[in-house]
Each structure stands twice: as C-alpha cells, then as structure tokens.
C-alpha cells in the first residue's frame, strides 16, 4: 500500500508535470473504482485543467476548475504518467488523456482503490476524520493525542485518526528505529519511548522520502521498499544486532520486528509466520 513517503514523492512529480495541463478526454474503462459524488458525468472534466495537486494522509487530491478528484490507492493502486502511445496495462481503470500527447492512468491489480469526483472533500469517506499530518504534528500534540488510545502501539500508528499517512510498512520501520515492541499497549509506554517514537517517525519518513525521490524519477508507479530495515525482511538478519527478523501475523496485518532490539510479550491470540 502506498504510504506517506511514496505519495509525497508522487505528488511532487505531479505538481511539476500535471498542474496547468488540460484534460482532453476521459476514459472510464472499469467504473468499479469510481465514486461520483456529483450530478455530473466524468466526461464533464474534459476541457478542464489541473490547478493543484496535494497530498493529505494517504489520499492524493487533484483540484480542477470547480471540482476535486480524490485518489485513495489502497493496497495496489498506482498512477502512470506516460505517452498516450504506450501500451495499456490489463488492469487500467481510468485514463485522463492530456494535452501534448500524455496520459495519466490509474492501474489497480486488486481493484481495491477508489477515485472520487466531488465538490466537497468532506464527502469522501475517511477524509475528514484524519488526524494531523505525521510530518507536521508537534511533539506535544503527538503526546496528547496518544492519551486517547489504549491499544497496541502499532495499531495506534496506523490509525489515520491519530496521525495521517502511516501504514503497515512504515509503522514497522518507526517502531524498529525507536526500539519499541509493536504489540506493547499504549498505557505501558514510558516517556522516553514516546519521545523516541516521535523522533523516529520524523526521521524514518523524511529519510524515506529522500531515498524514494532519488530513485523514482518519472516511474511514479514503482514502489521502492528494498531499503527498509525490517519490513518485508522476515528471517533476514537484523541490521542492528544480527538476530533473524520476526514476521508475525496478528490483528489482521503482517508485522516485522527484531525480538532482541524490540523485546516484549504479545497478549492475546495470533499466528506466527516465523521468527
């Protein structure tokens, strides 16, 4: 699932290459991902220009003359910016044909993402309930917002109502950097652990943005995760201590962590997949 670092770099690219371009034609090839919250047809966008592209949490927002296109890519949604002559992929759902012979295409292998056309961002499910941006929240606000939650800290980090933009992968990285056990419940966190979590959140996200920006170029559909320390690295040696990275399926998600650097005891039932 694209998270804050990937989407931030995609946003930067689109600001440079999309803003000011007019839409010449819209093709909705597979309407299953489209949610039209207006009385207009998607073809009403033809002739309009993109005036702004921004990110909010794990959403991309495209401003047009009087409407918004809002993309929530979910698990496997990807945008392609390419020449109109390039071959279409099998799971292409929507194409915006742009001036100068370029396309913006939405491709989704699992067709779980959503594209909303709306006059009001608050109508988009999940948009208004988001907390502050993970890279903008102050330490004092972070600490105060933590008090509202009593569950496991990884579940808190991926809760978009707590802070916006962090998903499964970067939660693992933040917790590893902070040396905090992912299944530790929030009331059990020490003041030092909270401080380390906050600092790790900023460092991991900023460093990841820099790495992705250097490697992505115009291939905005690609996902770079090989540079991560623990996420997706089950059974690989911990880069800090050499202990095999654990991979556990619990609470409906895969979690990678180092049992030596992040010691703790899981409470409740789960199914271990290794480590």
For the question of residue 2 being annotated catalytic, the response is yes
The encoded tokens of residue 61 equal: 């927002």
269 band by pLDDT with thresholds 50, 70 and 90: very low
Output the pLDDT for position 227.
Answer: 97
pTM, to two decimals? 0.94
Domain encompassing residue 194? 139-272
pLDDT of residue 171 exceeding 60: yes
**Could you tell me if residue 235 is inside a domain?**
yes
- Residue 70 contacts residue 152 (beta carbons within 8 Å): no
* Catalytic member of 55, 58, 78, 114: 58
Task: For residue 16, name the pLDDT band (cuts at 50, 70, 90).
Answer: very high
Q: CATH number, domain at 78?
A: 3.20.190.10
150 assigned to active site: no
Give phi and psi for 182, each to the nearest 5: -65, -25
Name the residue with higher pLDDT: 111 or 275. Answer: 111
Domain tally for the chain? Answer: 2
Residue 132 is a catalytic residue = no
Within-domain flag for 251: yes
E strand spans, the chain: 23-28, 34-36, 52-56, 59-63, 68-72, 77-83, 92-98, 102-108, 114-118, 246-250, 253-257, 271-272
Put the strands of the sheet holding 34-36 in their side by side order: 34-36, 114-118, 68-72, 59-63, 52-56
**Within-domain flag for 128:** no
Q: From the centroid of its chain, how far is CA 160?
A: 10
Residue-wise pLDDT tens digits, 43-88:
999 999 999 999 999 999 999 988 999 999 998 999 999 999 999 9
Regarding whether 220 and 99 lie in a shared domain, the answer is no
Respond yes or no: is residue 143 known to be catalytic: no
Does residue 177 share a domain with residue 226?
yes
């Amino acid at each position: 699932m694209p998270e804050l670092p990937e989407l931030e770099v995609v946003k930067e690219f689109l600001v440079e290459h999309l803003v000011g371009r007019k839409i010449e034609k819209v093709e909705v090839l597979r309407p299953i991902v489209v949610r039209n919250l207006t009385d207009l047809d998607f073809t009403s966008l033809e002739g309009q220009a993109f005036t702004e592209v921004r990110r909010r949490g794990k959403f991309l927002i495209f401003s047009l003359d009087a409407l918004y296109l809002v993309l929530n890519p979910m698990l496997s949604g990807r945008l392609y910016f390419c020449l109109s002559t390039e071959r279409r992929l099998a799971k292409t759902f929507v194409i915006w044909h742009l001036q100068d012979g370029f396309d913006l295409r939405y491709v989704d292998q699992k067709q779980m993402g959503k594209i909303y056309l709306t006059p009001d961002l608050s109508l988009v499910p999940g948009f208004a309930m988001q907390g502050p941006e993970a890279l903008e929240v102050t330490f004092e606000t972070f600490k105060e917002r933590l008090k509202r939650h009593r569950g496991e800290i990884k579940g808190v980090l991926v809760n978009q109502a707590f802070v916006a933009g962090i998903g499964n992968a970067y939660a693992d990285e933040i917790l590893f950097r902070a040396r905090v056990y992912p299944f530790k419940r929030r009331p059990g966190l020490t003041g030092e652990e909270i401080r380390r979590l906050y600092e790790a959140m900023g460092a991991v996200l900023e460093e990841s943005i820099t790495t992705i920006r250097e490697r992505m170029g115009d291939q905005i559909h690609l996902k770079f995760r090989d540079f991560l320390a623990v996420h997706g690295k089950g059974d690989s040696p911990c880069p800090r201590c050499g202990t095999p990275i654990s991979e556990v399926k619990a609470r409906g998600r895969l979690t990678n962590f180092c049992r030596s650097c992040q010691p703790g005891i899981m409470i409740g039932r789960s199914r271990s997949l290794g480590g």
